[in-house]
């Protein structure tokens, strides 16, 4: 299935958001997620299925003003 991951086209067969994060090596990482513009809390990632053309954001802390 093709999704959009952090603004770029990405092919994956991960069934859930949690699985996608784990495959990217983010299982223990300090990240936060959103699907199609809506925040998805960490506890709900396993129950969040991925669908074709979903827009996924995975963010982490960064310098800011």
Partner 1 sequence: MLTLYGKRFQSRLLLGTAQYPSPSSLRQAVEASGAEIVTVSLRRESSRARTGQGFWGLIEEMDVRVLPNTAGCRTAREAVATAKMAREMFGTDWVKLEVIANDDTLQPDLYGLVEAAGELVADGFEVLPYTTEDLSAAERLVAAGCTVLMPWAAPIGSARGLINKDALKTLRAYFPDIPLIVDAGLGAPSHAAEVMELGYDGVLLNTAIAKAGDPVKMAEAFAKAVAAGRLAFEAGLMEPRDMAAPSTPVAGTPFFKIDQAS
CB nearer to partner 1: give 11 or 61: 61
- Residues 4-63 binding partner 1 (CB under 8 A) are 6-7, 24-26, 29-34, 37-39, 41-42, 57-63
Closest contact distance (angstroms) between CB of 53 and partner 1 is 18
Contacts of 11 (CB under 8 A, 6+ apart): 1, 2, 3
- Cα separation of 61 and 59, whole Å? 7
- Cα separation of 60 and 50, whole Å? 21
Binding site for partner 1 (CB under 8 A): 6-7, 24-26, 29-34, 37-39, 41-42, 57-65
């Amino acid at each position: 299935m093709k999704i959009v991951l952090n603004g770029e086209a990405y092919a994956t067969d991960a069934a859930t958001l949690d699985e996608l994060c784990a495959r990217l090596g983010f299982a223990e990482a300090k990240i936060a997620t959103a699907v199609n513009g809506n925040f998805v809390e960490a506890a709900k990632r396993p129950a969040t299925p991925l669908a074709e053309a979903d827009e996924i954001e995975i963010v982490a802390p960064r310098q800011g003003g």
